[in-house]
């Protein structure tokens, strides 16, 4: 993809969501702690954090597949979490061998409130990404279990 195509994509993305993008990176969304997660774009805007799934399968699954990939006809909806609702970001507790055996992305929990109920969403991002750094400076950080 040429640089002008990339710039046009992000300009169109901002127009579509109606918000200014602060930072973006590849990320993951996990439906549970045991799920393999789905890959997509993790986008921090002035008002929200957004995960947009990218249809397809991961590279590891494609190594063992004999048929064509199962790409949905309709793309999945974005997960959009307004920053004003987020109460904390929970980071996993570090263990001695994590640098050898943990995934390359940091898997973190965003806790948020809807009315009187607390909810959470499990995401993954490169801990060295600008998005992760900006998110950590915006939201109170808790150490997980």
Domains of the chain: 28-143 (2.30.29)
Question: What's the chain's Rg over C-alpha atoms?
Answer: 16
pLDDT reported for residue 63 = 45
* pLDDT at residue 140, rounded to an integer: 84
Tell me how far apart the alpha carbons of residues 89 and 79 are, in angstroms, rounded to a whole number. 16
Residue with tokens 């109606």: 18
Q: What is the pTM of this model?
A: 0.79
Consecutive 10-residue averages of pLDDT for the chain (145 residues): 83 94 94 86 96 70 48 71 94 66 78 94 91 88 73
Q: What is the pLDDT of residue 102?
A: 59
Q: What is the dihedral of CA 87, 126, 76, 30, to 10 degrees?
A: -70
Phi, psi of 99 (to 5 degrees): -65, -20
pLDDT at 101: 57
- Please give the Cα distance from 134 to 23 (Å, whole number): 8
Q: What is the pLDDT of residue 3?
A: 77
């Amino acid at each position: 993809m040429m640089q002008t195509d990339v710039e046009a994509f992000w300009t169109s993305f901002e127009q579509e969501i109606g918000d200014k993008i602060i930072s973006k990176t590849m990320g993951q969304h996990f439906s549970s702690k045991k799920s393999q997660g789905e890959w997509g774009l993790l986008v921090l805007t002035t008002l929200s954090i957004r995960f947009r799934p990218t249809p397809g399968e991961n590279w590891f699954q494609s190594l063992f597949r004999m048929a064509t990939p199962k790409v949905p006809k309709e793309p999945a909806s974005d997960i959009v979490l307004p920053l004003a609702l987020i109460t904390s970001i929970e980071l996993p507790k570090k263990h001695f061998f994590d640098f050898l055996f943990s995934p390359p992305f940091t898997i973190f929990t965003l806790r948020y409130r809807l009315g009187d109920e607390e909810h959470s969403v499990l995401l993954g991002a490169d801990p060295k990404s600008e998005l992760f750094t900006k998110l950590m400076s915006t939201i109170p950080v808790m150490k997980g279990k």
